[in-house]
């Protein structure tokens, strides 16, 4: 079990690095990368729980693969959005793009 705790600690750290990055960075690419970090932290969690708690099942693995796929698609969409924002605002700084409100 100690191995599992160790790995969970890593994924915990990874997740909050992602959170920290997402909250502090203003560049959208960086923020996207932070999101990817968080997603990967979740992936690690899935794998770990699958391995140590339900070794006879495959659900965690499937979910991980699923998330990776989605993440890839999401990154593509996100970058497309970012490119469009850049064309419109000449910036990908999140501070300057605040029209997403009432």
Partner 1 sequence: MVNYSYIALVLIIPLAVFIITGLFGKRFQSFSGILGTAGMLAAACLSYYAAYQYFILGSRGADCAWPTIIALKQTWLQFSPNLRIEMGIMVDSISVMMLVVVTTVSLMVHLYSISYMHGEERFSTYYSFLSLFSFSMLGLVISTNIFQMYMFWELVGVSSFLLVGFYFTKPSAVAAAKKAFIVTRFADLGFLAGILILSFYSESLDFQTIIHRMMDYNGSIFLAANSASFMGASALTWALCLIFIGGAGKSAMFPLHIWLPDAMEGPTPVSALIHAATMVVAGVFLVARLFPVYSQIPAALDVVMYVGAFTSLFAAIIACTQTDIKRVLAYSTISQIGYMMFGLGVSGYWGDKALGFSGSMFHLFTHAMFKALLFLGAGAVIHFIHSNEMGDMGGLRKKMPLTNIVFLVACLAISGIPPFSGFFSKEEILTAAFNHNKLIYAMGLVTAAITAFYMFRLYFSIFWNKPASEAGGHADAHSHGEAPVTMKIPLVFLCLATLVSGFIPFNEFVTAFDKLEVEFHLPLAIAAVSAGAIGIIIATILYLKPSTMPDKIAATLGSIYQSAHRKFYVDELYLFITQKVVFNLISAPAAWFDRNVVDGMMNLIADVTENFSDEVKTFQSGKISGYVMWFFAGAILLSILIVYVL
Site residues (vs partner 1, CB under 8 A): 19, 22-23, 26, 31, 94-95, 97-102
Q: Which is nearer to partner 1, 56 or 98 (CB)?
A: 98
Phi, psi of 57 (to 5 degrees): -105, 165
Query: Shortest gap between Cβ of 4 and partner 1 (angstroms)?
Result: 19
Least distance between partner 1 and beta carbon 8 (Å):
15
Distance of closest approach, residue 102 Cβ to partner 1, in angstroms: 5
CB of 69 to partner 1, least distance (A): 24
CB 30 within 8 A of CB 21: yes
- Measured CA to CA, the distance from residue 42 to residue 8 in angstroms comes to 10
* Burial of residue 25 (number of CB atoms within 10 Å: 0-12, 13-18, 19+): middle
**Residue placing its CB nearer to partner 1 in the complex, 55 or 100:** 100
In whole angstroms, give the CA distance from residue 28 to residue 77. 13
Q: Between 2 and 99, name the residue whose CB sits nearer to partner 1.
A: 99
């Amino acid at each position: 079990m100690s191995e599992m705790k160790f790995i969970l600690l890593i994924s915990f750290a990874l997740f909050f690095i992602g959170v920290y990055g997402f909250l502090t960075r203003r560049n959208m690419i960086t923020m996207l990368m932070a999101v990817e970090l968080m997603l990967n932290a979740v992936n690690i969690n899935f794998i770990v729980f699958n391995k140590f708690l339900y070794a006879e099942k495959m659900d965690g693995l499937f979910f991980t693969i699923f998330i990776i796929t989605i993440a890839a698609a999401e990154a593509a969409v996100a970058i497309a959005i970012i490119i469009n924002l850049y064309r419109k605002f000449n910036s990908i700084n999140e501070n300057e793009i605040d029209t997403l409100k009432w």
